[in-house]
Amino acid sequence: MSIETDRIEELEQQMVELLDEVDRYRTATEDALQQLDWCIGYFTGCNKSRIAKSLGANRAHIRKNLRRSEQPTPTPSSSDS
């Protein structure tokens, strides 16, 4: 029984380590999406709507694959520069 108990403890420790790694990846993903959102807003504010639209499409694709809801792309008040 001691071998089984040791094996169970080892597997539980591996599971904890894997869950920690998942949390790190999740945090990195959320940070990257926030940076992408900032870039979209920046390019929208600079009247570079084509770039913002392309980044928005990329963001939508990423969020879809992550099973997250899509966010609207900001729209500028004037055309591209």
Rounded Cα gap, residues 59 and 40, in angstroms: 9
Task: Band the pLDDT of 80: cuts 50, 70, 90.
Answer: very low
Q: CB–CB of 75/45 below 8 Å?
A: no
Q: What is the pLDDT of residue 67?
A: 80
Region 46-66: mean pLDDT is 94
- The residue ranges of DSSP E strands in the chain, in sequence order, are none
47 φψ region: left (φ > 0), alpha (ψ -120 to 50), beta (else): left
Q: What is the pLDDT of residue 74?
A: 61
79 φψ region: left (φ > 0), alpha (ψ -120 to 50), beta (else): beta
pLDDT in tens, 3-22: 999 999 999 999 999 999 99
